[in-house]
Amino acid sequence: MGITEIMNAEIMNDKKEEKLIKIADKISRCRKCRLWKSRIKTVPGEGPADSELFFVGEAPGKEEDESGRPFVGRSGRLLTNMLNKVGIDRSKIFITSILKCRPPHNRKPRKDEIENCIGYLIEQLEVIKPKVIVLLGLVAIECLMGNHRNLREMHGKNIEKDGKIYFITYHPAAARRSSRVRRIMEEDLKKLKKMMD
């Protein structure tokens, strides 16, 4: 790659960063659904604007709500450990959730909350244009791929839909509750790493 190409890539990445900051600012002021009333902080997501991998979870939990950062609670720490174990550098991936605010008592996201929030995720995907979108658990799968899907049949696989490549695996919260799911998720992430190499 020549100097011109490198400079163009850097300029392009700076523009992407600016767009992501604008989206995060919109999220911080969002009052489209009831969740703004109970949140401490919004959790727009984090990671480089030129990420090849884009991880999507369900919704922020207590520690995420307090810090404004995604996947920093118990499930997030488990995910980070699994990523380290298989050789995926978390600092090089973009990671976020379907919802950008914590539902009270970590309940499942409601339909109207998803409908009001999904636009931000779509905007982030359009800016980053990752090679692979990693869906963590059924809520993320149903929101981005539609209809109820069978996670047991889909996990560890790439699925192409609407010109995007999705990689399916379990949510780390499920891996925390089950050592069997944890082993499966680790194997899935190993496949993901091999695929990206």
Task: Give 143-170 pLDDT, tens digit per residue.
Answer: 999 866 688 888 999 999 989 999 999 9
Residue 14 is predicted with a pLDDT of 83
What pLDDT, on a 0 to 100 scale, did the predictor assign at position 28?
97
Domains along the chain with CATH numbers? 3-196 (3.40.470.10)
In a 3-state reduction of DSSP, which class is residue 56?
strand
Helix (H, G, I), strand (E, B) or coil at 96: strand
Q: How much is the pTM?
A: 0.93
Question: Sign of the C-alpha dihedral, residues 147, 118, 196, 136?
Answer: negative
- Give the rounded distance of the alpha carbon of 128 from its chain centre: 12
- Helix, strand or coil for residue 169? strand
- Looking at residue 129, its pLDDT comes to 96
pLDDT of residue 148: 62
Cα 40 → chain centroid: 20
Q: Mean of the pLDDT values across residues 66-92?
A: 97
Kind and range of the H or E run holding 182: helix 179-196
